[in-house]
Chains A and B, each alone.
Chain A
Amino acid sequence: MGSHVAGGVKNRVEHWREFLATDFITILWLTLRVSGTSVLLSSLVGIPLGAWLGLSCGRRVLLLRLLVQTGMALPPVVVGLVLYILLSRSGPLAWLGWLFTPRAMVVAQFILALPFVIGITQSAVAAMPGELRWQLRSLGATQWQIRRTVLWEARQGVLLAVAAAFGRSLSEVGAVLMVGGNIQGHTRVLTTAVVLETGKGQFGVALALGGTLLCLALLVNALIVRLDGSPPRYE
């Protein structure tokens, strides 16, 4: 009995050691690369779009806002499924050859993060006092200069949008599992590794990976808070 327990502990330690030596760094690096790229892309597209939506009005804009807010509730597995169908061998985008590659994972995370960036940026910009735009205009600012200044003044909300997008990307599992395939050393990221390790009964490794995810989120948010400094207050 005693030797059985000792053997179990030995096996677990061996698994830990092997995991740390071979997979961990690759998984961590791929997680950062995929999430970082998707957040960067969704910010590049989403911040200008969110600013435009926040500064515009009219029925079409209301419809677009509704679509964006609905997009925030997009189920990741649905995104994964649609992307899978599009990228699979019989799909219209099969020629790209992206299925089960990090690129497909970036696309999935981009689709999921984009509504967050647009929606939160839009809210932050729309929350700026309406008189700010009038005042900038009366000082001689062009439409472009007004947009740039309002976006800068709303930077607290914009940074929050980027943080939310990073959180969404980092914690996403359904879509990346479907289009990435969780291939060891190729498309395995922290979330899919947690699923795999849990399935294998390696709860210690799974918990450690979960802790790593939390630490990453904490680090990124600390960086954002630092960048944010002391944001403007409007009373």
Chain B
Amino acid sequence: MNEAPQFELRRVRKQYGGTVAVDVEHLRIEAGETLCLLGPTGAGKSVLLRLLAAVERPTAGEVRFEGRDYLGDRLRRETRHRITLVFQRPVLLSGSVSRNVAYGLRLRACPACPRAEVARILEHLGIGHLVGQAARNLSGGQAQLVALARALVLEPDVLLLDEPTAHLDPAHVALVERLLREAASSRPITLVWATHNLFQARRVGQRVGLLLNGRLIEVAPADAFFHEPAEPRTRDFVEGRMIY
């Protein structure tokens, strides 16, 4: 049995020029848990997700995946295929919605018919009617749902979500939350979910973390985080006071 956490970050720093975007002393994310990352704009949530997804490399420190450091050598393709990140501003490829959703499946040389898989996931998200539409003609919300479908169809072990419902109407927010809860209950899936929305974090997070100026202020089980925060800045944030 593998007892190593899904992710472990040790003294991880990411800098762009002289600006420190992320500076995390230690963070452990267990397999199968849902961790919500809260924080104001520019706190470093997106950068942290990109580091976890290994699309960017940290300036310093160690990011371990299942006990293995993937700073030292290149992340193996099989490992990479187990992690997917949904971006805050999805960039869709030219061509149809179907081409976009099937992209990851094709990269994995999926033996199952991608067309059936694509249709199934689009139906699940309530956007089956978009399958043949040109992706560039979609609205912001539709594009976000397609990006989510593109990630979910891969059935990843780790799903990193950067404000995945930012452009959605309340009905679709509820739908996406329900689908992700169902996905997490049907098989072990680790969700790391960055959001501005305190209510969403309360609804979906098993643990919640607060990022501020790239630093992780507090990570705690959702109940403790919202009702008995250890940090005064967490209390200020939860109570809606502006913090810097």
Stretch with Cβ within 8 A of B (4 or more), from A22-30, A114-122, A136-144, A157-165: A136-144
A231 touching B91 in the complex, CB below 8 Å, given contacts A138-B84, A141-B107: no
Q: Report whether A149 and B108 are in contact in the complex, using a CB–CB cutoff of 8 Å.
A: no
Interface string of A127-166 (1 = CB under 8 A from B): 0010110111111111001000100110000000000000
Q: Which of B77-127 contact A (CB under 8 A)?
A: 77, 80-81, 83-85, 87, 89-91, 93-94, 103-104, 107-108
Cα distance, A131 to B154, chains bound together (Å):
20
Q: Report whether B89 and A140 are in contact in the complex, using a CB–CB cutoff of 8 Å.
A: no
Residue B150 lies at the interface, judged by CB distance under 8 Å to chain A: yes
A139 touching B107 in the complex, CB below 8 Å, given contacts A153-B94, A231-B94, A232-B136: yes
Residue A233 lies at the interface, judged by CB distance under 8 Å to chain B: yes
Q: Which of A177-228 contact B (CB under 8 A)?
A: none
- Report whether over half of chain A's contact residues are helix, strand or loop; otherwise say mixed: helix
Q: Report whether A140 and B55 are in contact in the complex, using a CB–CB cutoff of 8 Å.
A: no
Q: Report whether B77 and A134 are in contact in the complex, using a CB–CB cutoff of 8 Å.
A: no
Residue of B nearest to A141 (CB): B107
- Which residues of B have CB within 8 Å of A131? 87, 89, 91
Q: Report whether A140 and B87 are in contact in the complex, using a CB–CB cutoff of 8 Å.
A: no
Size band of the interface chain A makes with B: 20 to 34
Q: Report whether B91 and A140 are in contact in the complex, using a CB–CB cutoff of 8 Å.
A: no
Candidates A132, A134, A140, A232; contact of B107 at CB < 8 Å? A140
Residue B56 lies at the interface, judged by CB distance under 8 Å to chain A: yes
Q: Report whether A129 and B91 are in contact in the complex, using a CB–CB cutoff of 8 Å.
A: yes
- Which residues of A have CB within 8 Å of B87? 131, 134-135, 138
Interface string of A66-79 (1 = CB under 8 A from B): 00000000000000
Interface string of B126-139 (1 = CB under 8 A from A): 00000000001000
Q: Report whether A140 and B77 are in contact in the complex, using a CB–CB cutoff of 8 Å.
A: yes
- Which residues of A have CB within 8 Å of B94? 152-153, 231-232
Q: Report whether A139 and B93 are in contact in the complex, using a CB–CB cutoff of 8 Å.
A: no
Residue A95 lies at the interface, judged by CB distance under 8 Å to chain B: no
Residue of B nearest to A134 (CB): B55
Cα distance, A135 to B93, chains bound together (Å):
10
A140 touching B136 in the complex, CB below 8 Å, given contacts A132-B91, A134-B56: no
A234 touching B83 in the complex, CB below 8 Å, given contacts A134-B50, A142-B77, A145-B107: no
Subset of 15 A-B contacts with CB under 8 Å = A134-B85, A136-B103, A137-B55, A138-B85, A139-B103, A139-B107, A140-B77, A140-B80, A140-B84, A140-B104, A149-B103, A152-B94, A153-B94, A231-B94, A233-B136
Contact surface of A with B, Cβ cutoff 8 Å: 129, 131-132, 134-142, 145, 149, 152-153, 231-234
Contact surface of B with A, Cβ cutoff 8 Å: 50, 53-56, 77, 80-81, 83-85, 87, 89-91, 93-94, 103-104, 107-108, 136, 147, 150-151, 154, 160
Of all A-B residue pairs in the complex, the 10 with the closest CB atoms, nearest first, are A232-B94, A138-B85, A139-B104, A134-B55, A137-B55, A132-B91, A140-B81, A138-B53, A140-B107, A131-B91
- 6 new A-B pairs (CB below 8 Å) besides A138-B85, A140-B84? A132-B91, A139-B107, A140-B81, A140-B104, A153-B93, A231-B94
